[in-house]
Amino acid sequence: MHKINVIGLGYIGLPIASLLATKGYDVLGIDISDKVVNTINAGGVHIVEPDLDILVKSAVQSKKLRASKKIEPADIHIIAVPTPFKAGYQPDLEYVETATRTLCSVLKAGDLVILESTSPVGTTENVYQIILNNVPAIANAIFVAHSPERVIPGKVLQELIQNDRVIGGINPASTEKAVDFYRTFVNGEVIPTNARIAEMCKLAENAFRDVNIAYANELSLICHDMDINVWELIQLANRHPRVNILQPGPGVGGHCIAVDPWFIVHAVPHYAKLIYQARKVNDSKPEWVINQVVEMASQFENPVITCLGATFKADIDDLRESPALSIIHRLQEKNIGEILTVEPHVDRLDSVTLVDLPSAMNRSDIIVLLVDHQCFKKMDSQLFQNKYVLDTKGVLKINAAVQKLRHATTVVTSPIIEHHQT
């Protein structure tokens, strides 16, 4: 079996490394964090993902998976490091470039280098150029390809195997070698193309989703001004056989949808006008939520405001680019009252006061639902009595609460739909 290096042991790298180890490969995971390396070598995990702890423990115990801060020679090298953006939404490729230079020290003829990190078009070619600059004698014998992950947090292990994969090499030989590798563990279709199309494919997928979310968020603002229940409107509109409007929310988070469209905008700003505007709509939604909370807080002298959820989506611990966390921090800066946060999937958040749900509901004057965790969806409508409620996801049992408590409760959904106050 081939030896594999996985550079970067985050939300993508660790699942890939542990999955490949259970498939019989000898896998070395490389990370710059002592904590991450020590945790994995002890058979533990530093991120929350269903069944990942079991997989990692099994892989480590079988001695098929190790973690280290130092790279070693291998046959296949998978780069799975972050690709954030810098000021002005410019792509930051420092992690990819550093990882590539690091692996150059152990490359040998015949090795396969795979970039899994979602990247701007041309990044895979840049990876090869770094290899060419550092090890020119063997560069022509190195295979380089890109295979963007297509997984969703909460289902990463399942989707790594079941989802179709797009594989694009810098040349046909690289594509073929990478395709052969992925077919050893992917049940979905493995589809060959070239590196630039593979890179753009992932960006186009996430930009498509971002544009559709922006439509829903913009529609929610329109309905707010027109005194229309946006949730009922979307439900009815979606009964059309060719309409599928998504659900609005407090913004867009995560490392993919909130970041990837900017790679397209940065590359071709003169054409990417719709993609740009969608990003602006989604980035502006947290500010709208904040303004609604500030308005509600003005009804109190020193209100207790509880934010339900801080992660970027439901039932995970991932805080990357989370609009909920951004809203919480901004509300704290506003100094409009005491800000509490209930986040069942995170044990600690710097500068954020985490409390349990019962305590929060007992103390709060204002409830702001930001993430539709399952535990919040099951809340009894009686808990909202005598409180202002801002439901940015439309999942609380607000309607029932309004019917029973209309003389005691102000209910505000996102957008503001109903006011019941005497």
Please list the active-site residues.
202, 256
Cα(first)–Cα(last) distance of the chain, in Å? 72
Name which of 365, 293, 369, 367 is nearest 335 in CA terms.
Answer: 293
How far, in Å, CA of 49 to CA of 182, rounded?
A: 22
Q: Output the six-digit token pair for 138.
A: 């063997």
How far, in Å, CA of 25 to CA of 27, rounded?
A: 6
Q: How many CB atoms lie within 10 A of CB 319?
A: 17
CA contacts within 13 A on the Cβ side of 300: 18
Cα→Cα distances 357→3, 341, 360, 400, Å: 47, 9, 5, 20
How far, in Å, CA of 139 to CA of 104, rounded?
A: 10
Cα 323 to the center of its chain, rounded Å: 11
How far, in Å, CA of 192 to CA of 111, rounded?
A: 19
How far, in Å, CA of 339 to CA of 364, rounded?
A: 9
How far, in Å, CA of 70 to CA of 32, rounded?
A: 9
